[in-house]
Amino acid sequence: MPSKRILSLNLLGYLCSASALATNLAGTFSAYAAATYNLVDTYNSGNFFSSFSFYTGSDPTHGYVSYQSQSAASSQGLINTNNGQVYLGVDHTTVNPSAGRASVRISSNKAYTHGLFIADIAHMPGSICGVWPAFWLFGPNWPNSGEIDVIEGVNLAGTDQITLHTKAGCSINTAGSQSGTTLVNSNCNQDNGNTGCGVTTTTANAYGNNFNNIGGGVYAMQWESSGIYVWFFPRGSIPADITSGSPVTGNWGLPIVAFNGGSSCNIDSFFSNENIVFDTTFCGDWAGSVWGSSSCASLASSCNSYVGANPGAFAPAYWTINSVKVYQQ
């Protein structure tokens, strides 16, 4: 049986460890509690399509998709600003389009380093076999300027995955995240940046059909030298300071995920000059690669064949955006 002295030393060590952990977590929390922000840009139905550019190249993720120009997307009814909202849809009438299903990928004309990005979204592409939607930011010379994936999932997913991608040298920790958030990989350059470092989440109503069923909500992403933090608030629980235009991150409690900077990842060395992106692709490197191991496989032998033959399935694969606001210190 251990002596009382040993037990006392063990207890002292435990208390010191607990104190150190509390100090570390306090440092994590203070990173977003201390920030004061001012509104610098608002993107909404009045200026959205003049503030974003349409990407028309081939899909870097090898999806079964044909990204349309602004004029082509408009003429096909893939975009509009009806009812004071921004609509970004996909083709849901053409059977077996030879170049891939028509969709849009748009990037903000302005790039950012640091800030608080608040996206009020009423609808995102639903939990549909073959679909791969994302709301994200990335910089030039990928992955050297980093990538921040705020909303992302594939096929029938009901929860969000949040991921960072960087050049070599950034390893992340997620201390101070909500319970239910699981770090899948800490190396943000995993697979030369293609896999990156990300988390799975269990946050209710934050993705796909469940998100749409409650009228959506607000995603807030804070990016500072100390780290990158993401919150989600369902439609009926959006903080008053967000609604009033005076966000105070310290009022919001734990983020879904805290990607903490520090000695293993100097955030400012890996993330800079990033543009805001929305897109919807199909199949490709993620949705297509997991097709055979998902329940979607019962619908067709391949992701591409299903997406090609079933246009009507993708009528709900659209974004409805109320606004994206960017705040900086």
* Residue 202, amino acid: T
Among 281, 321, 276, which residue's Cα sits nearest to residue 57? 281
Calculated CA dihedral for residues 99, 321, 236, 205, nearest 10 degrees: 20
CA angle 175, 176, 178 (to 5 degrees): 115
Residue pointed to by tokens 């929305």 = 278
The partner residues of 324 in beta bridges, in order of sequence, read 43, 119
Question: How, if at all, do strands 257-260 and 115-123 pair?
Answer: unpaired
The one-letter code for the residue type at 93 is T
Q: Which residues are catalytic?
A: 147, 152
SS3 state at 65: strand
Contacts of 237 (CB under 8 A, 6+ apart): 217
In whole angstroms, what is the distance from residue 41 CA to residue 12 CA? 51
Query: Which tokens is 262 given?
Result: 């520090």
Q: 63-93: string of b/e by CB count within 10 Å (b at 16+)? A: bbbbbbebebbeebebbeeeeebbbbbbbbe
Are 155 and 290 within 8 A, CB to CB? yes
Q: List, in order, residues 6 or more apart from 76 with CB less than 8 Å away.
A: 68, 91, 102
Contact 43, 108 (CB under 8 A): yes
Count Cβ atoms below 10 Å from residue 35 Cβ, excluding itself. 20
